[in-house]
Amino acid sequence: MTARDNRGIPRREFVKSAVAIGGTAALAACLDRERSGDDAAAIPTGTDDPTSLPRGQHSWNEFLATDAHGNDVAPRHHLLLSLDYAGDGTPSSDERETVEVALQSLERAFEWSNEGLLFTVGYSPAYFARFDDELPDSAGMADPKALSPFEEPEFDTNDAVVHLASDHGSVVLEAEEALKGSRDEANGVEMDAHLGDVFDFPDDFPGRRTGFVGAGLPAEHQDVAGIPDDVDIDEESPLFMGFKSGFKKNQASEDFVTIPDGPFAGGTTQHVSRIRLRLDDWYTENDREENVAKMFCPAHAKEGKVEGAGDNLGTSSGVEEAGCVESIDDDARNYGKIGHTQKTAAAREDGSPLIIRRDFDSTDKDEAGLHFLAVQRSIADFEKTREAMNGTDQTKHPTIRQRVNNGILEYTFVKRRGNFLLPPRAHRALPEPNPQ
Ligand code: HEM
């Protein structure tokens, strides 16, 4: 098998827990477990030619594993690290150099793939506020805000966020320690600089957020608040709610989400929210038909279109093809409920979804949760998609309430939101609002 095959990785409860705990001891244990012994994972090293890597930090898809249908498969382990610029005033060119050298060291240490490491560095509106110049409109940025009438999220105010993703927990942990400067090398490759010289890393949640996605991982980590004790999450399901997500035809392409012009052309924007899951009723009160109706659409439920976690659907949820976007009013009248996918699929442009979903489950704070990370050309595209998900206009039907019979809103609670600009690689180190 090649590095990019879907390897059907066996249970890794230990590794996932180590990622959640973090620190040098967890890393040592994880390295011991994953990278020594008979079934040691050989982690491919990366490149010392930065020009061989894609222009966009978000260009991940062609470097990911694919499943039997050709869908991109998300890396299994994820870390989100918040960063605060440690200096006064605005960053110097020396500091920019340090950041770029540290990031290039990581790219030498790990192959740019799910078998190595994929990562992005994003900058918040709070970061750009220190400059006299403003970000141009073409950057597509906006302050985070509440995106539904029924949420009161806290907002991310750190200067930057690093997203680390790999199929190997030891890789994201090692990259974290190397970036912080508590390790001089990563994957046997020397780090020529680290970010600890330029940034402070707040330690606890939400400074450090962790997660996982992939068949088997939710089942192994279901022993948290929000998931009833007597329920067995489907071993095949990549997410706590029991269904596969991210079908190829239900994601925007990377080209579609790339900023087309202006100084950040080639980059994109990133929204990161934390959603708490309360799945008691989802798993104990609802039957499968109800859950399929609420996740996809009532017609899919009635026709039994979704088997298990939904792998049988191939490369598309089939909601658009089945006319469920147009039938939403009829569904509300006839079935008394509407589905998450039929609502969100209404937020398309020229047939394409507006966002690429790269979300992953989490047990941070010992609660079942999901870090909903998405990239899109502008934050407005995310807001438009979220507005469609709210389904507020459907409350004109007596059976549909703002959170009841309205997709998955009854079971999901938004706790945090943050917006970040992911500059193209060329400007990823402490950018000015108008880099040349
Ligand atoms: C617990 C949280 C969530 C879960 C478990 C979930 C799950 C799913 C599933 C199973 C699908 C259908 C399969 C697919 O198309 O990949 C889907 C579609 C989708 N979801 Fe979610 N979702 C969640 C939250 C969100 C949020 C917060 C947004 C954005 C505001 C969102 C946006 C979308 C979009 C855009 C689609 C595809 C629509 C299209 O085909 O155009 N989802 N989701």
> Hey, which of 307, 340, 383 would you mutate to test ligand 1's pocket, going by the most ligand atoms within 8 Å of its Cβ?
340
- Beta strand spans in 307-411 (E): 356-357, 360-362, 369-376
Question: Does 204 score more than 90 pLDDT?
Answer: no
Pinpoint the alpha helices (H) of 72-180.
93-109, 125-128, 169-180
Which residue ranges have their beta carbon within 6 Å of ligand 1? 239, 241, 243, 245-247, 250, 275, 295, 317, 340-341, 344-345, 348, 353, 355, 357, 370, 372, 385-386, 389, 408, 412
Q: Which of 350, 354, 342, 347 is nearest to 407 (CA)?
A: 342
Q: Which of 12-26, 47-61, 251-265, 305-319 has the lowest mean pLDDT?
A: 12-26
> Hey, which of 282, 341, 382 would you mutate to test ligand 1's pocket, going by the most ligand atoms within 8 Å of its Cβ?
341
The 10s digit of each residue's pLDDT in 80-109 is 999 999 999 999 999 999 999 999 999 999
Q: How confident is the model at residue 119 (pLDDT cuts 50, 70, 90)?
A: very high
Task: Count CA within 13 A, CB hemisphere, residue 55.
Answer: 10
Which atom of ligand 1 is closest in space to residue 346's alpha carbon?
Answer: 41
pLDDT mean over 132-144: 98
Cα of 255 to ligand 1 centre, how many Å? 20
Q: Which of 34, 74, 91, 68 is nearest to 163 (CA)?
A: 74
Which atom of ligand 1 is closest in space to residue 243's alpha carbon?
Answer: 10
> Hey, which of 212, 217, 245, 251 would you mutate to test ligand 1's pocket, going by the most ligand atoms within 8 Å of its Cβ?
245
Which atom of ligand 1 is closest in space to residue 372's alpha carbon?
Answer: 27
- Residue 85: which residues within 8 A CB-CB, separation 6 or more? 91, 127, 130, 159, 160, 198, 199, 430
Which atom of ligand 1 is closest in space to residue 348's alpha carbon?
Answer: 41
Q: How confident is the model at residue 6 (pLDDT cuts 50, 70, 90)?
A: very low
Q: What pLDDT score was predicted for residue 268?
A: 99
β 268-277/412-422 pair status: antiparallel
Cα of 250 to ligand 1 centre, how many Å? 9
Cβ distance 428 to 57 under 8 Å?
yes
The 10s digit of each residue's pLDDT in 284-330 is 999 999 999 999 999 999 999 999 999 999 999 999 999 999 999 99
Residue whose CA is at the smallest distance from ligand 1 atom 34: 344
Q: What pLDDT score was predicted for residue 15?
A: 75
Cα of 216 to ligand 1 centre, how many Å? 20
Cα of 344 to ligand 1 centre, how many Å? 7
Share of the chain above pLDDT 90, in %: 89
CA distances from 199 to 87, 195, 231, 251, 429 (A): 8, 6, 43, 33, 12
Residue whose CA is at the smallest distance from ligand 1 atom 28: 386
Q: Backbone phi, then psi, for 180, in 5-degree steps?
A: -75, -20
Mean pLDDT of the chain: 95
Residue that the structure tokens 């959640």 belong to? 20
Q: How far apart are CA 362 and CA 307, in angstroms?
A: 25
Cα of 394 to ligand 1 centre, how many Å? 18
Q: Whole-model pTM?
A: 0.95
Cβ distance 394 to 337 under 8 Å?
no
Structure tokens at 261: 């012009």
> Hey, which of 237, 271, 317 would you mutate to test ligand 1's pocket, going by the most ligand atoms within 8 Å of its Cβ?
317
Residue 416's CB: how many other CB atoms inside 10 A? 20
Share of the chain above pLDDT 70, in %: 97
Which atom of ligand 1 is closest in space to residue 355's alpha carbon?
Answer: 35
Q: How confident is the model at residue 118 (pLDDT cuts 50, 70, 90)?
A: very high
Please name the helix (run of DSSP H) or strand (run of DSSP E) that holds residue 274, with its range, or none.
Answer: strand 268-277
Cβ distance 147 to 383 under 8 Å?
yes
> Hey, which of 250, 350, 356, 376 would you mutate to test ligand 1's pocket, going by the most ligand atoms within 8 Å of its Cβ?
250
Count of helix runs (H) and strand runs (E) in the chain: 13, 15
Q: What pLDDT score was predicted for residue 106?
A: 98
